[in-house]
Structure 1
Amino acid sequence: MKKKIVALMLSVALAMSFTACGNSDTSKADTKKEETSKDGGTLKAEKNILSVEITLPASLVEDDSATLTDEAKSAGVKEVTKNDDGSITMKMTKSAHKKLLNSIKESVDQSNDEMLSDKENYPSFDSITYNDDLTEFTVNVDSSLYGGMQGFAALAFYMEGNIYQALNAVPEDQLKTVVNFVNKDSGEVIESGDSSSMANSQSDSETIAQ
């Protein structure tokens, strides 16, 4: 369920980012020559438009690949390829890629706000912050109210962080999102984990299913 929620978030972000960029990139196409990335990213100059090519691993898209492919194409992504291993490769302009990353953060902010307002399921949550590359989330909580199933909210943060990193060209074997639940009064870390536990849980589920 968490994967489908985050996949929907990604689909919405794709639609927002690429619709917003519209013709602004193509209007400059005839003035651009082949360029080289200064930050070492995976950038290619093709048909006089600087492009970014990113691949979402199968572990992040799974059954939602068809939805993401359709959304990406309708939003204006230049090329969307579903690979034999289940991953999806998307090619877009550098400007559109930047807009996509910003839109993902906006979607994460909206998700966090909804979680903070849901006092029935997350009564202890006081604030949620994350670092710039979404490799670490900090959830400040009221320790007297923290417990039960609230820690499972980390799964949503793991997915959000890993998807953002994958879209930011981080290799699959380097994807890692850390979540810390911190006592809002003392600053003490009550509970901590990272997205590798999500992968292990998925492997265990697949083994049981077999």
Structure 2
Amino acid sequence: MKKKIVALMLAVSLTVSFTACGTPKNNAKESSKPEEASDTAESKEADGEKESGGDSGTLSAEKNMLSVEVTIPASLLEGSDPAELTEEAEENGVKEVTQNADGSVTMKMTKEAHKELLTSMKVSIDESINELLADKENCPSFDSITYSDDVATFDIKVDADSFGGFEGIYAITFYLMGNIYQALNAVPEEEINTTVNFINKDTGEVIQTGDSASMAEEASDSAE
């Protein structure tokens, strides 16, 4: 599946996400060694695909013997052109596109097309990583960025002496990338969570860490 539809989904999601910005936690609790990560789109898909119940408020993917059905919630489609999304989806192997009454969109595709979608998402993630590493004006301390095969953990190695300012806010970008990938890969809604670690490139010490579930909980508490 071509990367344009993936780029569109990620772009819309990132736009929505910054309405609920938060910052990762400093001096994380002593944690186990981060998962072994992969920074390429050639990573082998995680073993044992899981079924998902999901609802219209979250991304969900339901798999059966012949096809995969994916629902993108309205909250991740704000500002997008439904007609453009439908056209791109159908051009890239999606058999059915349904605009639901609640604003969400359900796409039904073959398992092969679904696999290509996940691969394309990893390619898009890799491209985003390369762009961030090249942006020395806004991310001067970033040395390398890797992620786990299931896209649930991102490890960002930084120069501890220059790390600071607003660089930690980039964790939100990776929260979204990870959560979208996991949801489309049929991870149950209650298990979806992406962790981002900022690590001293010289010592391996975790300088700052955070996860998407905690950020969402904090945002919910502050809204009450």
How far is 1:182 from its partner?
Answer: 0.5
Moved more, 190-199 or 147-156: 190-199
Distance 1:80 1:148, change over 3 A: same
- Counterpart residue number, 1:93: 110
Unaligned stretches of 5+ in structure 2?
1-5, 12-47, 52-61
Identity, % of aligned positions: 59
- The 8 Å contact of residues 198 and 208 in structure 2, kept in 1 or not, is answered as yes
- Counterpart residue number, 2:28: none
Moved more, 140-149 or 59-68: 59-68
How far is 1:7 from its partner?
Answer: 5.5
Secondary structure of the residue aligned to 2:64 is: strand
Asked if 1:187 is matched to 2:207, the reply is no
CA shift digits 1:170-192 (9 cap, x unpaired): 23333211100000111111110
CA shift digits 1:71-90 (9 cap, x unpaired): 21332311122333433221
Cα-Cα RMSD: 2.7
Partner Cα distance (1:101, 1:145) in 2: 34
- Counterpart residue number, 1:128: 145
More helix by share: 1
- The 8 Å contact of residues 151 and 194 in structure 2, kept in 1 or not, is answered as yes
- Counterpart residue number, 1:166: 183
2:63 partner amino acid:
L
Unaligned stretches of 5+ in structure 1?
1-5, 12-37
Higher-Rg member (1/2): 1
TM normalised by structure 2 equals: 0.67
TM normalised by structure 1 equals: 0.71
Partner Cα distance (2:171, 2:214) in 1: 10
User: Number of aligned pairs?
Assistant: 172
CA shift digits 1:31-80 (9 cap, x unpaired): xxxxxxx85644335xxxx2111223344334437253342133231112
Higher relative contact order (CA 8 A, sep 6+): 2
